[in-house]
């Protein structure tokens, strides 16, 4: 399990400054990092990705500042290692696709809709020397995007939650589960996934701490024939859920 030298899954701010000295200007007299500043969050998360997970990450100027630790904890809830996996919507960092390849030795396919995010994801994949297959989704989820007949052990996603239905880029608030729209995307994903999973395959969704949302997706999954398991985990001051649906 990746961890800093103190055995904890985190990175002291002063160690992050050694990797990115420009972080110094965002630290107050008590040694606290101003995480309300977007640039500071980007630099700190880049440091975590590098120090704990050995990843070099470039963030898009408008993209969600993806926290590496939360994504790693999510992947640990359902990956054993060596699986053939599909990530729906890898985002500009391709963070989870990179981790699935590098840390879990998975054979990874990942999709992305946004043109600029796709380019950033491609560059992150190249700079980390992994074998992730990146596919431009052009608006589809799985059908029409992934070749028919291709099967996976696991299909996973951190579904978007927009303020209103849109093809636009997630805001910071929406990216951490603050939007109202997202259930329909998740339901469609688990419906389409059934034709692309191996026997005993599973879908895993990274979800905000919203009980009605989780219950609605879980009930739909059971109606489709999945068994469901909800794993709740803490990241900083927030709770997140890994909803695992297995055939």
Q: In this structure, what DSSP letter does residue 95 have? A: H
Q: Give the model confidence (pLDDT) of 208-247 as tens digits.
A: 888 988 999 999 999 999 999 999 999 878 899 999 999 9
- Given pLDDT bands bounded at 50, 70 and 90, which one contains residue 29? confident
What is the phi/psi pair of residue 188, to 5°? -65, -40
Rounded distance, CA 85 to CA 226, Å? 18
Read off the pTM: 0.90
Give the per-residue pLDDT at 161: 63
Average confidence score pLDDT of the chain:
89
Which tokens is 119 given?
């380019």
Rounded distance, CA 56 to CA 68, Å? 11
Domains of the chain and CATH, by start: 13-53 (no CATH), 68-246 (3.40.50.150)
């Amino acid at each position: 399990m990746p961890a800093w030298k103190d055995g904890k899954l985190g990175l002291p701010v002063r160690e992050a400054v050694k990797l990115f000295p420009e972080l110094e200007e965002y630290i107050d007299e008590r040694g606290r990092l101003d995480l309300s500043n977007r640039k500071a969050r980007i630099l700190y998360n880049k440091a975590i990705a590098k120090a704990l997970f050995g990843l070099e990450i470039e963030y898009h100027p408008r993209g969600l500042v993806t926290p590496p630790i939360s994504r790693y904890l999510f992947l640990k809830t359902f990956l054993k290692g060596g699986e053939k996996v599909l990530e729906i919507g890898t985002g500009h960092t391709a963070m989870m696709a990179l981790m699935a390849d590098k840390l879990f030795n998975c054979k990874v396919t990942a999709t992305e809709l946004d043109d600029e995010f796709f380019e950033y994801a491609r560059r992150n994949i190249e700079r980390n020397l992994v074998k992730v297959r990146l596919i431009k989704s052009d608006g589809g989820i799985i059908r029409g995007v992934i070749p028919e007949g291709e099967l996976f052990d696991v299909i996973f996603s951190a579904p978007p939650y927009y303020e209103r239905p849109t093809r636009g880029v997630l805001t910071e608030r929406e990216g951490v589960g603050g939007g109202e729209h997202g259930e329909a995307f998740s339901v469609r994903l688990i419906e389409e996934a059934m034709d692309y999973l191996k026997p005993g395959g599973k879908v895993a969704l990274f979800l905000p701490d919203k009980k009605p949302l989780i219950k609605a997706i879980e009930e739909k999954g059971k109606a489709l024939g999945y068994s469901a398991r909800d794993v709740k985990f803490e990241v900083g001051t927030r709770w997140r859920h890994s909803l695992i649906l297995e055939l």
